[in-house]
C-alpha cells in the first residue's frame, strides 16, 4: 500500500523533532561534561593549578638546595661578630641559627639606638638580653637609610616559645580577614568554615591569593601603571636568601632629591607648600614616579636592588608582624594619627605606629605599590595599602585602587631592598 505525500511529510517531521530532541539531550550532556563543576574545563583548571604548585615547589626546593650548598661553602658568621659597616654582602646567623644577609655598606643598629628594640631573646629570669634576633625585626642602616629584615621560610624559635619550635612564613600575596567573612578585595574566597588552606602562625588572614583575581602582581602591565623592576628576581632571591628588607619608614624626600628611609623632620602640611620639601614625607607623587624614585635610590649598585614595595613584600611583612609582635590583628589597623604627621617616633606614644621596628604601615599616609587592579581597564590600575590620616576605613591590608596620574597629600610610598 503506498503512503500518501502527507503521511511521508508527517513521518519526516516526527523524525526531525526526535532528532532535535536527541541533539538537545546530547548537547546538554556535553555542556555538563565540559562546563560542569566536575567537567573537563574544571578538571583541566585544577590539574593546571596543581601542576603550577608542583613546579613552584620544585623551584623552591632547588633554591633551598642552592642556598644550603652556599652556606656550606661560605658559612655565615655569628651576628654578634659583626661590628660596624660591612664592606661586602655578609651572611650572618642569630642566636637560634636564623639567617640574615647584611648588604655592603650597612651595619646592624644596636638595641636602644634610634628607638630600635630587640626583646625576643631572654635570659633564665625572663629578662630581655637585647641580642638581635630575626623575630624582633633586625634593623640595618647606612649613612642615611634604615631597613628592617623580613625573614621568610622556617624560622627557628627560642625554647618554650608558645609558637612552637619553628614558625613558617611563606613569601606570598595573602588575603586577610578584614571583614570577618574570609574574603577581601583581592577576590580570594575561602570555602567551608574559613580554615586557612595554608596554615601559618599568624592570625587573621585566610589564604595565599592566586594571580587570577582583580588584584594581581604582574611582570608587565598594559594598564598604564609601573610594575616591579623584576618580580621574578625578587621572589627568587628573597626565597633563596631567607628574606628581604622593607624600608623602616615611609619615603622621605632627601636634600639630594632622592628618596630616603629615615625619620622626617618637617611636618608642614603638603598643601601649604608649592612642592614637597626635603625632609618631608614624600606625598603628591604618581605611582610611576614613586617607582622610578624607589629604583634610583641606589644607582649603579651591584650588591642589591631597591624598588617600590610589591604586594608580596607588603603582605608577607604583615604576616611576620602578626606572628612575632603583640599586634596579631595588625592587618585590620587604621591610622593612629588623624592629621599629616612626621614618620617615625612621635612624642605621643599612643600615635606612634611601630611594630617589629617598622614604622607607619597603618598610619599617616597610604602607600603606593606595584600591584595592579585589572577590572577597570586602564582607568584605575594603581593599588595602595595602609591607613592614612584622613580615611577611617583604610586598613593596613585592604587595597584601594586609583588612576595612574592620580596624586594626593594622603598618599606616599615605601621601598624594599633585596640582595642580588
Q: Which residues pair with 306 in a beta bridge?
A: 417
Query: Residue 187's pLDDT is what?
Result: 41
Q: Report the SS3 class of residue 150.
A: strand
Chain center to CA of 222: 22
Residue 210 pLDDT grade (very low, low, confident, very high; cuts 50, 70, 90)? low
Mean pLDDT confidence for 228-245? 96
Report residue 61 as a C-alpha cell.
626546593
23-36 pLDDT per residue, tens: 888 877 777 666 66
Q: Report the SS3 class of residue 318.
A: helix
Mean pLDDT confidence for 37-61? 64
Query: Residue 15's pLDDT is what?
Result: 78
pTM of the model: 0.81
Cα maximum dimension of the chain: 113
Q: Is 280:263 a contact under the CB 8 Å cutoff?
A: no
The yes-or-no verdict on residue 131 having pLDDT over 50 is yes
Distance CA(174)–CA(286), nearest Å, equals 25
Q: Is 311:208 a contact under the CB 8 Å cutoff?
A: no
Of 215 and 250, more confident: 250
Residue 1 pLDDT grade (very low, low, confident, very high; cuts 50, 70, 90)? very low
Query: Residue 180's pLDDT is what?
Result: 37
The yes-or-no verdict on residue 221 having pLDDT over 50 is yes
Q: Supply φ then ψ for residue 378, to 5 degrees.
A: -110, 20
Query: Residue 182's pLDDT is what?
Result: 33
**Among 104-113, 180-189, 331-340, 394-403, which is the least confidently predicted range?**
180-189
Average pLDDT for the chain? 85
Q: Is 374:381 a contact under the CB 8 Å cutoff?
A: yes
The yes-or-no verdict on residue 419 having pLDDT over 50 is yes
Considering Cα of 95, then 66, then 305, then 369, what sign does the dihedral take? negative
Of 224 and 175, more confident: 224
Query: Residue 301's pLDDT is what?
Result: 86
Q: Report the SS3 class of residue 16.
A: helix
62-101 pLDDT per residue, tens: 666 666 676 677 789 999 999 999 999 999 999 999 999 9
Residues near 401 by beta carbon (within 8 Å), at least 6 away in sequence: 373, 376, 380, 381, 382, 383, 384
Of 2 and 103, more confident: 103
Amino acid at each position: 500500500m503506498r503512503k500518501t505525500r502527507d503521511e511521508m511529510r508527517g513521518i519526516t517531521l516526527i523524525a526531525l523533532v526526535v532528532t532535535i530532541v536527541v541533539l538537545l539531550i546530547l548537547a546538554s550532556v556535553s555542556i555538563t561534561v565540559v562546563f560542569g563543576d566536575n567537567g573537563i574545563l574544571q578538571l583541566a583548571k585544577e590539574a593546571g593549578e596543581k601542576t603550577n604548585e608542583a613546579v613552584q615547589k620544585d623551584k623552591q626546593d632547588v633554591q633551598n638546595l642552592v642556598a644550603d650548598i652556599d652556606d656550606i661553602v661560605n658559612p655565615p658568621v655569628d651576628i654578634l661578630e659583626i661590628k660596624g659597616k660591612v664592606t661586602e654582602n655578609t651572611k650572618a646567623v642569630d642566636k637560634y641559627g636564623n639567617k640574615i644577609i647584611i648588604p655592603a655598606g650597612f651595619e646592624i643598629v644596636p638595641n636602644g639606638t634610634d628607638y630600635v628594640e630587640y626583646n625576643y631573646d631572654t635570659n633564665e629570669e625572663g629578662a630581655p638580653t637585647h641580642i638581635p634576633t630575626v623575630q624582633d625585626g633586625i634593623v640595618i642602616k647606612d649613612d642615611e637609610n634604615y631597613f628592617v629584615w623580613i625573614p621568610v621560610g622556617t624560622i627557628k624559635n627560642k625554647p618554650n616559645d608558645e609558637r612552637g619550635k619553628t614558625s613558617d612564613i611563606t613569601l606570598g600575596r595573602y588575603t586577610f580577614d578584614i571583614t570577618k567573612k574570609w574574603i577581601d578585595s583581592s577576590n580570594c574566597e575561602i570555602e567551608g568554615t574559613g580554615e586557612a588552606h595554608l596554615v601559618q602562625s599568624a592570625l587573621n588572614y585566610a589564604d595565599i591569593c592566586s594571580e587570577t583575581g582583580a588584584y594581581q602582581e604582574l611582570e608587565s602591565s598594559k594598564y598604564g601603571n609601573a610594575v616591579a623592576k623584576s618580580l621574578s628576581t625578587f621572589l627568587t632571591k628573597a626565597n633563596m636568601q631567607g628574606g628581604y628588607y622593607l624600608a623602616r619608614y615611609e619615603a622621605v624626600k632627601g636634600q639630594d632629591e632622592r628618596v630616603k628611609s629615615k625619620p622626617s623632620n618637617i611636618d608642614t602640611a603638603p598643601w601649604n607648600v608649592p612642592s614637597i620639601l626635603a625632609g618631608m614625607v614624600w606625598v603628591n607623587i604618581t605611582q610611576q614616579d614613586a617607582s622610578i624614585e624607589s629604583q634610583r635610590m641606589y644607582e649603579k649598585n651591584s650588591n642589591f636592588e631597591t624598588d617600590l614595595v610589591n604586594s608580596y613584600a607588603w603582605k608577607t611583612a604583615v604576616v611576620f608582624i602578626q606572628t612575632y609582635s603583640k599586634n596579631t590583628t595588625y592587618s585590620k589597623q587604621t591610622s593612629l594619627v588623624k592629621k599629616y604627621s612626621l614618620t617615625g617616633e612621635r612624642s605621643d606614644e599612643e600615635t606612634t605606629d611601630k611594630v617589629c621596628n617598622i614604622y607607619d604601615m597603618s598610619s599617616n599616609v597610604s602607600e603606593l605599590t606595584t600591584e595592579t587592579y585589572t577590572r577597570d581597564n586602564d582607568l584605575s590600575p594603581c593599588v595602595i595599602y595602609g591607613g592614612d590620616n584622613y580615611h577611617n576605613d583604610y586598613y593596613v591590608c585592604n587595597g584601594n585602587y586609583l588612576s595612574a596620574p592620580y596624586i594626593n597629600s594622603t598618599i606616599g610610598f615605601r621601598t624594599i631592598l633585596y640582595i642580588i
